[in-house]
Amino acid sequence: MWCHFVGGNLDQQALDIDEREISEYRGVPMCSPPQDPKLVRSHGMGVYSDTGRTVTVDGRIARVFELYGNWQSVNPPPFAVNDFASGPAVTACGADQPVPEFWSYADLLGDVSAGDWVRERIPRFGSTVSALVPDVYPTYLRLLHPAWTIRELDRDRSPVRWRILVDALGAVMHQTVAWGSMIEAGVRSGRETGEGSLWDASPTTGELPACEIVALATVLAEHTTTPDDCYFGFWEGRGFRGVPENHSRLTLPGRRHLLVRGSVCDAGRELQGFLPNIWWPADRAWFVASDVDLMSTYVGGATELANALYGEIELFEAIDSWRGARITWDCDTINPRAAGPHTHD
């Protein structure tokens, strides 16, 4: 079968594929409450989904396969074009509209000057919150990425909050609590790590779970005058394939980002299986940063926004922070320090 691929490492390639190599792929969103998995017909390591469309390539009719997401993605995106996975849904912002599809290469901005102010306010790569979020906000807070329990039979995951683990391990919850130090507190007190009984998988670095980023976008949309105009940056180190080396990037100290533009409600859309690392509305009312090395997401904004986020205790776990708070693995000065940054991954 003649196939034409769009996106990913096979972008714009036409290949003759054995029909037997086309398989059903069931992407399971890793969040709670569990969502219905999306079933697509796919081919390739990058999960290229059959769109049902055809195109003429080199005089032959080719079936179009478009990138659906990476196998390693923890949040496989819905594929709105495909009949298997499309359909109306109530979005985070309450509107009844089709499920948003993932970002494509056509969405990447060639002009990234909208991020110039971010570069001006983050002058250096450092070890504090101000190295992630511009130092222009009155209030900063930290969203703790959850740990997970996993049911062996179906691999469904349920989030485990840090506050639960702190109590069980005899640790102390505070503004710069670190995952490794919290677990180390349990080891030194004789309560062990809690792995296998309290949690099975440690928090994901670099991004909130998809369900939490959607919940966050719902709150943030109420605290900006430009909810339909928002910028999202994806760290280039994720290894996005097919993007020209000379394509415009927003260059911050130690990090370069591909930039796209949409509405606040687009925060849950993925680019090749990854969620955004930074995002902010056009009016700059707030700023969100999920650095690839951290198990926390940091938000800068107004005090009213912080209060709203603290109130959503069922949706995510928020604690106070400030622009000078340390963000490195050894930032915890209250709980015992682990031997190294990956001691209790």
Are residues 112 and 188 both part of a single domain? yes
Q: Is residue 250 part of a domain?
A: yes
What are the residues facing 122 on neighbouring strands?
Answer: none
Are residues 57 and 168 both part of a single domain? no
State the pLDDT confidence band at 25, using cuts at 50, 70 and 90: low
pLDDT digits (tens, 9 = 90+) for 269-306: 988 888 999 999 999 999 999 999 999 999 999 999 99
Q: How many residues does the chain have?
A: 345
CA distance 339 to 344: 9
Tell which of 53, 86, 119 closes a domain: 86
Are residues 174 and 264 both part of a single domain? yes
- The yes-or-no verdict on residue 88 having pLDDT over 60 is no
Among the residue ranges 6-10, 106-110, 200-204, 333-337, the one predicted with the least confidence is 6-10
State the pLDDT confidence band at 109, using cuts at 50, 70 and 90: very high
Among the residue ranges 15-29, 106-120, 266-280, the one predicted with the least confidence is 15-29
Are residues 80 and 141 both part of a single domain? no
pLDDT digits (tens, 9 = 90+) for 222-241: 999 999 999 999 999 887 87
State how far Cα 80 lies from the chain centre.
19
State the pLDDT confidence band at 24, using cuts at 50, 70 and 90: low
Q: What is the DSSP string of 63-92?
A: EEEEE---TT-SSPPP-TTSTTT--EEE-T
Are residues 27 and 151 both part of a single domain? no
What are the residues facing 228 on neighbouring strands?
Answer: none
Are residues 210 and 285 both part of a single domain? yes
Number of domains in the chain: 2
pLDDT digits (tens, 9 = 90+) for 57-86: 888 888 888 876 654 444 433 333 332 233
Are residues 149 and 58 both part of a single domain? no
Written as one letter, the residue type at 111 is D
Are residues 223 and 326 both part of a single domain? yes
- Greater confidence, 162 or 103? 162
Q: Is residue 268 part of a domain?
A: yes
Q: Is residue 32 part of a domain?
A: yes
State the pLDDT confidence band at 90, using cuts at 50, 70 and 90: very low
Q: Is residue 94 part of a domain?
A: no
Tell which of 37, 55, 86 closes a domain: 86
CA distance 166 to 147: 12
Q: What is the DSSP string of 11-35?
A: TT-EEE--GGG-EEEEE---SSS--
Q: Is residue 93 part of a domain?
A: no
State the pLDDT confidence band at 129, using cuts at 50, 70 and 90: very high
Q: How large is the greatest C-alpha to C-alpha distance in the chain, in angstroms?
A: 71
Q: Is residue 205 part of a domain?
A: yes
Count CB atoms within 10 A of the CB of residue 94: 10
Are residues 277 and 311 both part of a single domain? yes
Contact 207, 275 (CB under 8 A): yes
Q: What are phi and psi of 96, to 5 degrees?
A: -85, 105
- The yes-or-no verdict on residue 196 having pLDDT over 50 is yes
CA distance 318 to 142: 6
Are residues 247 and 342 both part of a single domain? yes
Give the structural domain span for 270: 103-345
- Greater confidence, 10 or 286? 286
Strand locations in 175-324, DSSP E? 230-235, 250-252, 255-262, 278-281, 287-289, 296-301, 317-321
Are residues 143 and 255 both part of a single domain? yes
Are residues 135 and 76 both part of a single domain? no
Query: Locate tokens 């490195």: which residue?
Result: 328
Q: Is residue 161 part of a domain?
A: yes
Mean pLDDT of 315-342: 94
Per-residue model confidence (pLDDT) at position 93: 41
Per-residue model confidence (pLDDT) at position 101: 66
Q: Is residue 96 part of a domain?
A: no
Per-residue model confidence (pLDDT) at position 262: 95
Which of 284, 268, 327 has the alpha carbon at shortest distance from 143? 327
